[in-house]
Amino acid sequence: MKRMLVLAAAGLAAVALAGAVGLPELAGAEDSSADDSLTVSGVGTVTVVPDEAQMSFGVETRRPTAQAAVAANAEAMRKVIAALRQAGAREITTQWVSVYPYTSQDGTTQGYVASNSVSAVGDVEDAAALIDAAAAAGANQVSGPGLSASNAEALYRQALARSVDQARARAEVLARAAGRALGPITSIVEGGAQPVPVYRAAAEAASAPTPIEPGQQEITATVSVTFSLR
C-alpha cells in the first residue's frame, strides 16, 4: 500500500513538472501574435486645372410699394436669366426671393426692396462672358466664381489609389527595419479630403472685360492601412 502511494505521488509530480515546462511556450506564442501587425498612413494627391465655374447672380430692386418692387424685380430677373442662357450658362437655379421694407432713420417706411438670386454653372473659359452678360442685363449682385473639376470623383479615386501605394511603401520600409516581411492588408480606413487651391502665380490681365484665372487645385486622399507581418 505504501508503495502504491509513493508511485502515485511521483506521477503527479511528473505531470506538474510537464505543465510548468509548457507554460513559457504558451506565453511566448501570445506575445508574438500581439506584434504581428503594422498600421501606417498614406496620402495621395492629384493636381488638376479646374474646368467648371459656379456663380450666383442677383437683382435688387427698390420701389415705393411691395407690389411694385416685386413686379420690377421679376422683370429684371427674367432678363438676367435670358442673358445667362444665351451666354451658355447651365443648371440655372433660383436661390432665394425676398421682399422687405426699408426705413429712414426715424423708422418711417420709405419703400420696399425686392431681391432675387439664381445660381448657374458654366465652363471656366465662359465665366467672364457669363458675368458680363448678367451685369449688362441688370444683375447688380454677383458672387463667385467657385472653381472645380467636372471629373472630381474620378480624380479623387486616383488620389485614393496613390494614398494606398504610399502607405504600402512606408510599411515596407518599417517592416524591413524590424527584420520582418510585409503580409497582406487586414484593414483600410479612409479619411476625408477637400480640393485645395494652389496659387502658382498672380492673376494675369486677360482680353475679356472680367478676367478669370482658374489656377490649379490639389485633390487629396488619406488612408490608414493595417498590414500583417511575417
Domain ranges of the chain: 35-49+152-229, 52-148
State which CATH number among 3.30.110.170, 3.30.450.40, 3.90.850.10, 3.40.50.1220 fits the domain covering 35-49+152-229: 3.30.110.170
Query: CA distances (Å), 194 to each of 48, 74, 95, 148, 153, in order?
Result: 13, 37, 24, 11, 11
- Check if the beta carbon of residue 37 is closer than 8 Å to that of residue 227: yes
CB-neighbour burial class of residue 191 (10 A; exposed 0-12, middle 13-18, buried 19+):
middle
112 vs 99: CA distance, rounded Å: 7
Tracing cell 454677383 back to the chain, one arrives at: 142
Q: Is the dihedral of CA 64, 68, 72, 73 positive or negative?
A: positive
Buried b (16+ CB within 10 A) or exposed e, 196-230: eeeeeeeeeeeeeeeebebeebbbbbbbebebebe
Dihedral sign from CA coordinates of 133, 138, 142, 146: negative
Contact 81, 198 (CB under 8 A): no
Alpha-carbon gap, residue 66 to 72, rounded angstroms: 10
47-58 burial, b if ≥16 CB within 10 A, otherwise e? ebebebbbbbbb
Class of domain 52-148: alpha beta
Give the whole-angstrom CA distance, residue 47 versus residue 198: 9
pLDDT at 212: 73
Per-residue pLDDT in tens (0 to 9) along the chain, 230 residues: 444 433 344 444 443 433 334 433 333 333 444 468 999 999 999 999 899 999 999 999 999 999 999 999 999 999 999 999 999 999 999 999 999 999 988 888 899 999 999 999 999 988 999 999 999 999 999 998 888 898 889 999 999 999 999 999 999 999 999 999 999 999 999 986 555 555 433 333 334 467 777 778 889 999 999 999 99
Tracing cell 488620389 back to the chain, one arrives at 159
Q: How many CB atoms lie within 10 A of CB 81?
A: 21
Angle separating helix axes 127-137 and 66-86, nearest 10 degrees: 150
What pTM value is reported for the model? 0.61
| DSSP one-letter code for 207 | S
